[in-house]
A and B are shown apart, each in its own frame.
Chain A
Amino acid sequence: MTDTITQPNSGPHHLLQVSHLSTSFATTHGSLRAVDDVSLTLDRGETLGVVGESGSGKSVLVRTIMNILGRNASISDETKVLFNGRDTRALTRAEARHFWGREIAMVFQDPMTSLNPVRRISRQIVEPIRYHLGLDEKAAIELAVELLDRVGIPEPRQRLNNYPHELSGGMRQRVTIAIAISCRPKLLVADEPTTALDVTVQKQILDLLAELQTETGMSMIMITHDLGVVAGYADRIAVMYSGRIIERADAIGLFESTRHPYTEALLRSIPRIEDPSHTPLRVTSGRPPNPLSLPPGCRFSPRCRYAQPPCTEQEPALTPASVTHEYACFFPVGSPENLEALAANEAARATSTGLELATATTAGAGAV
Chain B
Amino acid sequence: MAGTGTAHLRDADDTVLRVENLVVEFPAPKGRTVHAVSGVSFDVRAGETVGLVGESGCGKSTTGRAVMQLPSPTSGSVRFGGVELTALDDEELRRTRTKLQMIFQDPISSLNPRRKVRDIVAEGPGIWGLADDNVDTVLENVGLDPAVVSDRRPHEFSGGQCQRICIARALVMDPRMIICDEPVSALDVSIQAQILNLLEAMKERYGLTLLFIAHDLAVVKNISDRVVVMYLGKMCEVAPPDTLFAAPRHPYTQLLLTSIPVPDPRRGRSDRRITGELPSPLDPPSGCRFRTRCPRASERCAAEEPQMRAIGDDHFVACHFPD
Question: Is A252 within 8 A of B265, CB to CB?
Answer: yes
B302 at the interface (CB under 8 A from A): no
Interface positions of A from 207 to 246, Cβ below 8 Å from B: 207, 210, 225-229, 231-233
Is B255 part of the contact surface with A, judged by Cβ < 8 Å?
yes
| Interface membership of B126, Cβ < 8 A | no
**Size category, A interface:** 35 or more
A88 to chain B minimum Cβ distance, whole angstroms, is 31
Residues of B within 8 A of A118 (CB): none
A278/B200 in contact, CB under 8 A: yes
A343-368 near B? 1/0 per residue, CB < 8 Å: 00000000000000000000111111
Most chain A CB inside 10 Å of its own CB: which residue of B161, B198, B202, B262: B262
Residues in chain B near residue A265, CB distance under 8 A? 190
Number of A-B contacts (CB under 8 A): 157
In the bound complex, how far is the Cα of B218 from the Cα of A275, in angstroms?
A: 9
Q: 0/1 per residue, B235-277, Cβ < 8 Å to A?
A: 0000011100100000000011111111111110110011001
Contact across chains for B158 and A226 when beta carbons are under 8 A apart: no
Take A54-B188, A168-B278, A200-B255 as given contacts and tell me if A363 and B262 are in contact as well, using a CB distance cutoff of 8 Å.
no
Chain A contacts for B222, CB-based, 8 A: 271, 275, 277-279, 281
| Contact call B55/A277, Cβ cutoff below 8 A | no
Contact between chains at B259 and A200 (CB < 8 Å): yes
A270 close to B191 (CB less than 8 A): no
Determine whether the beta carbon of B261 is less than 8 Å from that of A255: no
Interface residues of B in 187-241 (CB under 8 A from A): 188-194, 196-198, 200-202, 215-219, 221-225, 240-241
Count B interface residues, CB 8 Å: 58
A202 touches B190 (CB 8 A): no
Which chain B residue has the least Cβ–Cβ distance from A207? B269
Also in contact, A368 and B269, with CB within 8 A (given A271-B218, A277-B240): no
B118 at the binding interface (Cβ < 8 Å): no
Judged by a CB distance under 8 angstroms, whether A285 is at the interface is: yes
Compute how far the CA of A252 lies from the CA of B164 in the bound complex, rounded to whole angstroms: 36
* Among candidates A168, A232, A267, residue contacting B262 with C-beta atoms closer than 8 Å: A232
For A203, give its contact among B215, B221, B259 (CB under 8 Å).
Answer: B259
From B217, B218, B258, B264, residue with most partner A Cβ within 10 Å: B264
A266 to B265, CA, bound (A): 16
**In the bound complex, how far is the Cα of B261 from the Cα of A232, in angstroms?**
7
* CB <8 Å contact, A200 and B144: no
Residue of B nearest to A199 (CB): B259
Q: Which residues of A contact B257 (CB under 8 A)?
A: 273
Q: Mark B91-118, 1 if CB is under 8 A from A, else 0.
A: 0000000000000000000000000000
Given contact pairs A170-B277, A198-B56, A200-B274, enumerate 11 new A-B contacts (beta carbons under 8 Å).
Answer: A200-B255, A203-B273, A232-B261, A255-B265, A273-B245, A276-B242, A278-B223, A280-B200, A287-B160, A363-B198, A368-B157
- 24 residue pairs from A and B, CB less than 8 Å apart: A53-B188, A54-B188, A168-B278, A199-B216, A199-B260, A203-B261, A206-B261, A225-B189, A227-B189, A228-B263, A231-B267, A254-B265, A270-B193, A270-B218, A271-B196, A271-B219, A272-B218, A273-B260, A275-B222, A278-B223, A280-B200, A283-B193, A363-B200, A368-B161
Interface residues of B (CB under 8 A from A): 55-56, 141-145, 157-158, 160-161, 164, 188-194, 196-198, 200-202, 215-219, 221-225, 240-242, 245, 255-267, 269-270, 273-274, 277-278
Nearest first, the 4 closest Cβ-Cβ pairs linking A and B are: A228-B261, A363-B197, A269-B193, A251-B265
